[in-house]
Amino acid sequence: MNKTFTLLLITSLLLTACSVNSTSNNNEPNSLKKSEISTKQEIPAGFFPVDLNVVSVGDSLTQGVGDTTEKGGYVPYLERLLNNDKGIEQTEIHNYGVRGNRSNQLLNKLETDEVKQALGEADLVIITIGGNDIMKVIRENFTRLNLDDFDIEKRVFEENLRDVLNSIREGNSNSTVLLVGLYNPFLEWFSHIKEMSMIMDDWNQASKSILSDYEGTYFVDIDDIFEKSEEDLLYTDYFHPNNRGYELIAGRIYERLQEEGLNEILERK
């Protein structure tokens, strides 16, 4: 009897152990599956290419004045760079640039139904504005230019730029916004007047300061492209960029996106 009881006890323990091992083995694949799911959830932005919706607004630099291909200035060059990015499947760019637009006129453009709808669906908004605001001062005070005139107009520009950013944010709180800075287009005509470069620097600094108050907004410096290049980057009017100038602007915009905003956009998609 004792031997029989002992044998039954050992058999029971072995069966229990096998049951525990069996349970443990059954749990192991589930654990692995959970691990695999967690890994998938941590896939980096850009692993699966996404479509990118871009809206460009502003002045002649957005319209592409000086671009002999008449395809929209920096836009086709930027589109090519974005489409070659491994994180992007296809880029669609809507160009609403208007030659001669000042900051107050851009505000009016943003209020049109077509642009409002486009901005509401945009992943990325690119702005070029300010050059014609400066030109307004020059034209109105050409014979008696002084720095105070530019300071007065700069304050108007700053207020308008805030309104532009507010308008974009009201319609789309998630889009990434790039503001392309000003360059000195008068280097060919007035290279000896250092004050013009000072004015451009001053306006660019004012824009940077305003952008710092808005999340998801970035400034794109382009003034050095034109000041330091030994290439001819201006159109025959010696004011607007030529094809090569626009290509370099597109390259700078893309570089800025890679530094700050592109992963941010891809993570939202």
- For the chain, the domain total comes to 2
Which two structure tokens, joined as six digits, stand for 56?
């460009």
CB–CB of 53/121 below 8 Å? yes
Q: List the 217-220 sheet strands across, edge first.
A: 88-97, 50-58, 124-128, 176-180, 217-220
Q: What's the pLDDT at 19?
A: 43
Low-confidence ranges of the chain (pLDDT < 50): 1-26, 28, 31-32, 37, 39-40
Phi, psi of 10 (to 5 degrees): -65, -45
pLDDT for position 223: 95
Based on the domain organization, do 119 and 245 belong to the same domain? yes
Residue 122 and residue 215 in one domain? yes
Same domain, 100 and 117: yes
Q: 14 with 127, same domain?
A: no
Do 3 and 132 share a domain, yes or no? no
pLDDT of residue 116: 97
Is the domain of 26 the same as that of 76?
A: no
The tokens describing 188, both together, are 């060919």
Tokens (6 digits) for 9: 């006890």
Q: Is the domain of 115 the same as that of 229?
A: yes
CATH number at residue 226: 3.40.50.1110
Do the Cβ atoms of 58 and 227 come closer than 8 Å? no
| Residue labelled with tokens 């941590």 | 42
Which pLDDT score, from 0 to 100, does residue 127 have? 98
Task: Please name every residue paired with 59 in a beta bridge, in sequence order, or none if there are none.
Answer: none
Domain holding 30, by residue range, is 1-42
Judge if 33 and 87 occupy the same domain: no
Residues 245 and 164 in one domain: yes
Cα 4 to chain center, whole Å?
A: 81
**Do 182 and 56 sit in the same domain of this protein?**
yes
Record the tokens describing residue 29, joined without a space. Answer: 């694949």
Q: Residue 145: its pLDDT value, please?
A: 78
Do both 31 and 76 map to the same domain? no
- Residues 144, 206, single domain; the answer is yes
Percent of the chain with pLDDT over 90: 63
For position 190, what pLDDT does the model report? Answer: 64
Nearest CA among 261, 136, 239 for reference residue 188? 239
d(CA 176, CA 124): 5
